[in-house]
Chain A
Amino acid sequence: MSVALEGDARQAAAAKVAEEHGLIRKAQAGDRLAFEELVSRYDKDVLRLAMNLVRRPEDAPDIYQESFLRVYRNLQRFRFECSFYTWLYRIVTNVALDHLRRRSSRREDQAPAVEDGEGTTRDFFDRQAEQRAAANPERSLLGQELGEQIAEAMKQLSPRERLVFEMKHHEGMKLRAIGELLGTSEETAKNSLFRATRKLRASLKFMR
């Protein structure tokens, strides 16, 4: 019974892949609607990844757009040697890495700061935490303090460390796949994850 179900699932997955390949071929032939269909399948994931990688929401749409434009310009070069998802994510991570590197070289771009009524500034992620905490007032104060600590801790990570951490823990990818995406080895991705974890642990007071 379970073997039959497994077979059905495999057949369904193969049909899905074949259907997507058909769509990609149409897009490669210049079919704009096919390309837009591909975009709509993956763009929510791409935007989420961008938002969590750059941790500055106003930059995420730029990464989204630049990534899909690169996909559009280079679709002819996609040779079906890996999944479209992997290829797309490789492009998004490259765009995000470029963005993070540019940002880390510009001091004024360090935090998405917004001034509140009391004259203090807090970043987007603090505000997100507060919105969530509002549903549970007891956690509000703790959430705000924690948010500040996490935002500060994330600043300590290099672009690559941030990217590996995000891909591993939020996108649920394996280190081998992350290594492939970044054009490096599993071992290098692993070391980036170790460094990121140690830095976060060292920066977050409650982890000590």
Chain B
Amino acid sequence: MDRESHNSTQAAGGACSEWEPLLILSAAGEELDAAEEANVAEHAAHCENCAAALKREKELLRVMGERRVEPDAALLASCRAKLEDALDREEETSWLRRRIGALVPTSWISPRPAWSAALLLLLGFAAGLLGPRYLERHPARPATGAPAVAAPNIAVASVPRQDATPAAEASGNTGLAALDLHTADVSGINVIPAGAGEPPEVQLQLQAQRPMTVQGTVDDSNVKRVLTYVLNNGDRFDPDLRINAVDLLRARSSDPEVRSALCHAAQSDRNTAVRLKALEALNGAEPQKMVQQTLLDALNDQNPGVRIEAINALQSMAARGQVVSDEHMLSVLRDRMQNDPNTYIRMQSAAAFRDLGPRQKF
């Protein structure tokens, strides 16, 4: 032991107390500048206790580093799936919060609960008192130039088949044509079961300046128009509504317009469940270039469940001889069989590549 360490007080680790923090920082790395590092090295070269302490610090870090835990792929995938569900719920609640927030600013309400309650009571009272008087003086006018009707503010755009008359259908179609779907909100879908073999009745409630109900089977052009609009503008509607729309439209997947909306949902809907449903619906669809391309795009989806659905659909279409393989398809399959993190997808991609790829001639 040299003179320097004899003159110093000792820290708990045995090192000189004034050098101990520098030894910790030196072992930690990238905290001392070159001059400080040189000082530590010089001191350790002359002080046995500090040299031993520095060695112990490095050993401590090595041992702790060896026990570091790395997340495995399965845990990460499960976290991602749960996060996606939580984000869906978050979107639904934030949609509600935004609408409530637009009416009542929460920043004002929270610090003044008593005043807020009084104000809400007053507003409710005023609305109850003045609302009916206003409605009596200003009856709702129809959107088109049709004569005003006294009471109803619900228009039936498309009537059930058994009650349909040419006149009623014409008037309903005019109502929907006049309704701008860009500003309307679909507030609900009711499905009314029909007899055996009959397609179910669908009732769509539209909230607009003038609320409207569209009713008919999925073969009805107005029903189709609203449902495809919901899928093509998914950002505006709730996931439940979009899932219902896919479910109803799958019976019409041979219709090019419907097929296009389903492809759009499978490729770009932000909700995994909707993308999965849309892929399921496309599985039975008439094989088209667009469907094939959608399935290939879905093989690169972030969600492994969607990729599994896509490869399954592609394989069942291939088994029916409905797939036309080309260089692009083979390159996507090759990529998936080599790089997909999911074993099942890698295996199925390899099987599809084998079935659809170029065969060697003997």
Q: Which residues of chain A have a CB within 8 Å of any CB of chain B?
A: 30, 32-33, 35-36, 39-40, 43-44, 47-48, 51-52, 55, 57, 60-61, 64-65, 68-69, 72-73, 124-125, 128-129, 132, 146-147, 150, 168-170, 172, 174-175, 190, 193-194, 197-198, 200-202, 204, 207
B80 touching A43 by the CB < 8 A rule? yes
Q: Give the distance in Å from the alpha carbon of A69 to the alpha carbon of B85 in the complex.
A: 11
Q: Give the distance in Å from the alpha carbon of A204 to the alpha carbon of B21 in the complex.
A: 19
Q: Closest CB of chain B to A41's CB: distance in Å?
A: 11
Chain A residue numbers with a CB within 8 Å of B76 are 43-44, 47
Residue pairs across A and B with Cβ atoms less than 8 A apart, 10 shown, are: A40-B80, A43-B83, A47-B79, A65-B82, A69-B87, A125-B69, A146-B67, A169-B65, A193-B25, A201-B12
Q: Give the distance in Å from the alpha carbon of A87 to the alpha carbon of B168 in the complex.
A: 60
Chain B residue numbers with a CB within 8 Å of A124 are 69
Known: A39-B83, A57-B69, A72-B90. A193 touches B235 (CB 8 A): no
A128 touching B71 by the CB < 8 A rule? no
Known: A48-B69, A197-B24, A201-B56. A69 touches B90 (CB 8 A): yes
Interchain residue pairs A-B with the least CB separation, the first 9: A32-B270, A47-B71, A51-B69, A64-B79, A61-B79, A197-B24, A48-B71, A65-B83, A68-B83
Q: Closest CB of chain A to B26's CB: distance in Å?
A: 12
Q: Chain B: interface residue count, which band?
A: 35 or more
Closest residue of chain B to A126, judged by CB? B67
Chain B residue numbers with a CB within 8 Å of A44 are 71, 76
- Does more than half of chain B's interface fall in helix, strand or loop, or is it mixed? helix
Closest residue of chain B to A174, judged by CB? B30
B302 touching A168 by the CB < 8 A rule? no
Known: A65-B82, A150-B67, A190-B25. A73 touches B30 (CB 8 A): no
B87 touching A32 by the CB < 8 A rule? yes
Interface residues of B in 226-274 (CB under 8 A from A): 235, 268, 270
Chain A residue numbers with a CB within 8 Å of B12 are 198, 201-202
Chain A residue numbers with a CB within 8 Å of B101 are none
Selected from A33, A65, A129, A147, the residue in CB contact (under 8 A) with B79 is: A65
Q: Give the distance in Å from the alpha carbon of A184 to the alpha carbon of B71 in the complex.
A: 29
Chain B residue numbers with a CB within 8 Å of A72 are 87, 90
Selected from A128, A129, A193, the residue in CB contact (under 8 A) with B28 is: A193
Q: Give the distance in Å from the alpha carbon of A190 to the alpha carbon of B31 in the complex.
A: 10
Q: Closest CB of chain B to A179's CB: distance in Å?
A: 12
Q: Give the distance in Å from the alpha carbon of A43 to the alpha carbon of B82 in the complex.
A: 13
Is B13 part of the contact surface with A, judged by Cβ < 8 Å? yes
Selected from A36, A55, A69, A175, the residue in CB contact (under 8 A) with B86 is: A69
Known: A47-B79, A65-B82. A193 touches B71 (CB 8 A): no
Q: Give the distance in Å from the alpha carbon of A32 to the alpha carbon of B25 in the complex.
A: 43
B63 touching A146 by the CB < 8 A rule? yes
Is B78 part of the contact surface with A, judged by Cβ < 8 Å? yes
Q: Which residues of chain B have a CB within 8 Å of any CB of chain A?
A: 12-13, 21, 24-25, 28, 30-31, 56-57, 59-61, 63-71, 75-76, 78-80, 82-84, 86-87, 90-91, 94, 235, 268, 270, 302
Q: Closest CB of chain A to B83's CB: distance in Å?
A: 5
Chain A residue numbers with a CB within 8 Å of B60 are 197, 200-201, 204, 207
Most buried by B among A57, A69, A132, A197: A197
Chain B residue numbers with a CB within 8 Å of A132 are 66
Selected from A73, A175, A193, the residue in CB contact (under 8 A) with B90 is: A73
Chain B residue numbers with a CB within 8 Å of A57 are 69, 75
Chain A residue numbers with a CB within 8 Å of B13 are 198, 201, 207
Selected from A48, A73, A200, A201, the residue in CB contact (under 8 A) with B70 is: A48
Q: Give the distance in Å from the alpha carbon of A207 to the alpha carbon of B27 in the complex.
A: 14
Q: Give the distance in Å from the alpha carbon of A73 to the alpha carbon of B90 in the complex.
A: 9
B302 touching A36 by the CB < 8 A rule? yes
Selected from A33, A40, A51, A147, the residue in CB contact (under 8 A) with B71 is: A51
Chain B residue numbers with a CB within 8 Å of A55 are 69
Q: Closest CB of chain B to A144's CB: distance in Å?
A: 12
Closest residue of chain B to A186, judged by CB? B31
Chain B residue numbers with a CB within 8 Å of A198 are 12-13
Given contacts A33-B268, A169-B28, 16 further A-B contacts (CB under 8 A): A32-B270, A43-B79, A47-B71, A48-B69, A51-B69, A60-B71, A61-B78, A65-B82, A68-B83, A72-B87, A73-B90, A150-B63, A169-B65, A190-B31, A194-B24, A201-B13
B61 touching A169 by the CB < 8 A rule? yes
Chain A residue numbers with a CB within 8 Å of B268 are 33
Chain B residue numbers with a CB within 8 Å of A204 are 60, 63
Chain A residue numbers with a CB within 8 Å of B59 are 207
Known: A32-B87, A61-B79, A150-B63. A174 touches B31 (CB 8 A): yes
